[in-house]
Structure formats: structure tokens, C-alpha cells
Amino acid sequence: MKAEGWRPFASVAFWPGRGVKGQVHFRLSRTKRPGSAVLLRIDDRTFQLFAGGADAWAADARGDAEIVSAMRSGIDMTLETRSDRGALVRDYYQLRGAATAIDAAAIGCARR
């Protein structure tokens, strides 16, 4: 089903109070089919994400770090899965400015 009330997004979070740095989270444009893989492609690299409903994330902190590193130097990013109705879901992002945005988030969260 089409995501109601939200738009797809990609985020990199910093939670200094919890010791979390560079945690990735993706909101898909449609709810994914149970059991369907979610693949993240950044240029020529592919990552398999954990997912539920319309959300996806890396398996662990190491996965977060690898994805953030690829985002910082990448050009394009695509998430792919199958919707709960079986249609191909492909969310596309251009990564121009991603490194600056990630750095700004890290600095802003460090000041809190």
C-alpha cells in the first residue's frame, strides 16, 4: 500500500547521550512485502538492510559506518524492495551535499 501521511527519506542520526554516531534509517515510499529483501545501492556497492513495514536500517554499527562512508563519497543511492502488493519499489536519492549534511548533524548534536 502507498505510504499514507509520509514521504520516503534517508537519515543519519547522532544520539550523543546513547553513544550512537551515524545511525542510518530509511523510510520507504511504500510498505514492503513481508519476507522481501531491501537492497541499498550506493554507486557500485550493495548493502542488504533489515526492514519492517516501511522502515529499513543497517544490521549493526559496523553496517551503519560502511553505509555512511559510502554515502559521503557516493553520487547516487537507490533502495529496492517489493511492496506488500508485489510491485517493485525503487526510491532514488542523489548524494550531492550528503557529506556536508552528515557533518552538520554531527556537530549540531555534539553541542547538545
**Structural domains in the chain, sorted by start:** 9-110 (2.60.40.1880)
- Phi and psi at 25, nearest 5°, equal -150, 135
Q: In whole angstroms, what is the distance from residue 84 CA to residue 33 CA?
A: 4
DSSP assignment of 22-43, as one string? EEEEEE-SBPBPTT--EEEEET
User: 49 or 15: whose pLDDT is higher?
Assistant: 49
Q: What confidence tens digit (pLDDT) does each residue in 43-87 have?
A: 999 999 999 999 999 999 999 999 999 999 999 999 999 999 999
What is the pLDDT at residue 102? 93
Local confidence band at 24 (pLDDT 50, 70, 90 cut-offs): very high
Task: Give the strands of the sheet with 88-94, arranged side by side.
Answer: 9-15, 20-27, 55-57, 45-52, 38-42, 76-82, 88-94
Q: Residue 76, Cβ neighbours under 10 Å: how many? A: 12
CA 3 to chain centre: 16
Is 80 exceeded by the pLDDT of residue 112? no
